[in-house]
Structure 1
Amino acid sequence: MHGRVKVRTSEEQQLLKQKEQQKKLIAYRLGMKQILQSRKPDSYDPECLGICAQLLIINPDIYTLWNYRKEVVLLEIKTSNKDEDGEEKLCTFLENELKLTEQCLLANPKSYSSWHHRYWVLVHHPKANWKKEFDLCTKYLSMDDRNFHCWDYRRLILNKVGISLEDEIKFSTDRININFSNYSSWHYRSTILNQENLHDELKLVQNALFTDPADSSAWFYLRWVLSHSNVLKEDKEELLGSLEQLLELEPNCKWIVIAKCWLMKNIYENTDNSIQNQVNCYTRLKELDKMREGYYLDCQKTVVDDSETKE
């Protein structure tokens, strides 16, 4: 009727979407064909380099195109060694490469290829600004502290900047205190931590456990801490007592029961009391976590079999 806006049906919308996708696919194939045909060991086509950038901004995970750009960068480095002002031109070229990776990371902040290319470019940059890169990581992590690609990148450039491990551990602690449910930050912490004294680590992770017992990230980090021989027996015993208190508050939390098994085996080895307590824990876990009932049954049998073997 007159005066009414026509609303497309879902079928029409689907057809339009398919047509758009088809156009993009054709453009992508043409672009890739042109780039690959122009690929030479001793020169490159600037127009194809521009097409390559457009394709990567749309989809930054085409590693073939990043490899093409690396070949071009190496050609630029070779050329710069022959010119008087070659270094200045090279720096400008490489800065444009870094800008491209920034655009790609805006499209997909978790693109392996984009982060890898950015680091590779900086390694070949005659005047790399590593401090700026470090600040960029801090900015990205303030927006999304679960971006493990950025955490890994930060670890790569840590030694380039000269930041002390103490400062970096403090940064990690601040991010964890903001969000305990952060596998990436916990993992990053495990890669930089001085493992001589883990007393404070147990306190930190215990705080996270009591804040949100159902969150698995801190429990996994706890297991990593307990795997080190530097953890004192009295600290483990104190933690076991704390878990008993937490279990009274959260009787249906499987993670508490699992951690009790870790600790009892770690502290008391295969004493009769410890074996029976572990068997009881696995019996409880079979009730709490039906999906893994068979796994807990196997664990239970292993505890009993190991004790009989040692006898």
Structure 2
Amino acid sequence: MSLNKSWHGRLKVRTTEEQKAQKHKEQQKKLGAYRLGMKQILSTRKPDEYDPTSLSISSQLLSVNPDIYTLWNYRKEVILLRIKQSQKDEIDGEEDLVQFLENELRLTEQCLLANPKSYGSWHHRSWVLMKHPKPNWDNEFMHVWDYRRLIINKIGITLTDELQFSMERLNANFSNYSSWHYRSTLRKLDAKSVGTELTLVQNAVFTDPADSSAWFYLRWVLSNPTVTAEQKQEFLDALDDLEQLEPECKWVIMAKCWLTGSLVLSDKDYIDRRVEYYKKLLKLDPTRKGQYLDYLKAAEEKTKITS
């Protein structure tokens, strides 16, 4: 039962039958709006042009129910028309198409927020990305994890469970950049947990030193103020061993720069080491020669000051 005010301000108890009648009335109203919308869309559906109003109505209907496959197919037809139009406009065609497709991707995001399991929305998003002149695939990996967080929040999976899940994914493949990123969004580092993360990432870089994914995660861990000078020194010693095994790996040397740059800056030994490291990087990574020369100059200046 529900309560409703009468004309005299008194509370009136709405019966079950009245509730059913009210619900039926609301459903009929929604159904009527749906039928009018579909009639508008189908009456303007043509092979060589589209109606912007009908396209807007289809967006509204899909936001309420993202599993209306007819409407996704309609929108695909519109996109194909926009692609043809863009090919005729050599100046602004591609830019306009990119903007149009980005709006289409935002629509699928809205639909997936309402229903993360909507197959129609996922399929349409994938199809749009394949037609996109400049698809951002890295961003898609991030979206997948965002949707996962949305789902786990709804079904009550704990943070511990998710950390274990990310650990399993990384153990299966240390090169999984999206898993490293996802773990960084879950993990709030403190003095207790930072040691665990350093051990994990050390195992990863020793397994595949040439892969950049774990190195970026290492840099994120090292940026945390709870990492002690002792832990940094231990990792630096481990990298000395790794360099013996992988003397041509630029990531090992770059990590040494990160570590020595964040230890005791007034210690001349560390400054001398950085000079040595930047000279090595000039040989191992010549595409960033200008950047390393700047760093080398700054390190040499510090050497003169502390001499």
Q: Aligning the two structures, in what range does the TM-score lie when normalised by the shorter sequence?
A: 0.5 to 0.7
Residues 286 and 292 of structure 1 are in contact (CA less than 8 Å); yes or no, is this contact kept in structure 2?
yes
Letter in 2 for 1:167: D
2: CA distance, partners of 1:163 / 1:103 = 26
TM-score norm. by structure 1 comes to 0.61
Superposition map of 1:271-310 within 5 A: 271-306=267-302
Letter in 2 for 1:35: S
Distance apart, 1:219 and its partner CA? 0.5
Superposition map of 1:1-311 within 5 A: 30-33=49-52, 35-36=54-55, 52-56=71-75, 62=101, 64=103, 98-105=118-125, 107=127, 147-196=141-190, 197-306=193-302
User: Cα RMSD (Å) of the superposition?
Assistant: 4.0
Letter in 1 for 2:298: T
Residues 110 and 147 of structure 1 are in contact (CA less than 8 Å); yes or no, is this contact kept in structure 2?
no
SS in 1 for 2:171: helix
Evaluate the alpha carbon distance shift between residue 304 and residue 40 of structure 1 in structure 2; reply closer, same or farther with a 3 A threshold.
closer
2: CA distance, partners of 1:161 / 1:237 = 42
Distance apart, 1:278 and its partner CA? 0.3
Residues 210 and 246 of structure 1 are in contact (CA less than 8 Å); yes or no, is this contact kept in structure 2?
yes
TM-score norm. by structure 2 comes to 0.62
Residues 175 and 211 of structure 2 are in contact (CA less than 8 Å); yes or no, is this contact kept in structure 1?
yes
Letter in 1 for 2:141: N
Evaluate the alpha carbon distance shift between residue 193 and residue 97 of structure 1 in structure 2; reply closer, same or farther with a 3 A threshold.
closer
Evaluate the alpha carbon distance shift between residue 57 and residue 178 of structure 1 in structure 2; reply closer, same or farther with a 3 A threshold.
farther
Identity of aligned residues (%): 39
Distance apart, 1:55 and its partner CA? 3.9
2: CA distance, partners of 1:109 / 1:68 = 13
Letter in 2 for 1:260: K
Evaluate the alpha carbon distance shift between residue 205 and residue 95 of structure 1 in structure 2; reply closer, same or farther with a 3 A threshold.
closer
Gaps of 5+ in 1: 1-25, 74-93, 113-145
The one-character-per-residue Cα deviations of 1:134-184 (angstroms, maximum 9, x if unpaired) are: xxxxxxxxxxxx933201222344433321111100000111111111211
The one-character-per-residue Cα deviations of 1:190-212 (angstroms, maximum 9, x if unpaired) are: 11103112101001000010000
Evaluate the alpha carbon distance shift between residue 166 and residue 110 of structure 1 in structure 2; reply closer, same or farther with a 3 A threshold.
farther
1: CA distance, partners of 2:108 / 2:217 = 39
Aligned residue-pair number: 227
SS in 2 for 1:163: coil
Gaps of 5+ in 2: 1-44, 81-99, 133-139
Letter in 2 for 1:216: S
SS in 1 for 2:241: helix
Letter in 1 for 2:189: Q
Letter in 1 for 2:237: G
Query: What residue in structure 1 maps to residue 83 of structure 2?
Result: none
Residues 272 and 303 of structure 2 are in contact (CA less than 8 Å); yes or no, is this contact kept in structure 1?
no
Distance apart, 1:36 and its partner CA? 4.4
1: CA distance, partners of 2:101 / 2:262 = 47
Residues 176 and 186 of structure 1 are in contact (CA less than 8 Å); yes or no, is this contact kept in structure 2?
yes
Structure whose CA Rg is larger: 2
2: CA distance, partners of 1:205 / 1:172 = 13
1: CA distance, partners of 2:181 / 2:159 = 15
Letter in 1 for 2:163: I
Residues 253 and 277 of structure 2 are in contact (CA less than 8 Å); yes or no, is this contact kept in structure 1?
yes
Query: What residue in structure 2 maps to residue 118 of structure 1?
Result: none
Residues 254 and 285 of structure 1 are in contact (CA less than 8 Å); yes or no, is this contact kept in structure 2?
yes
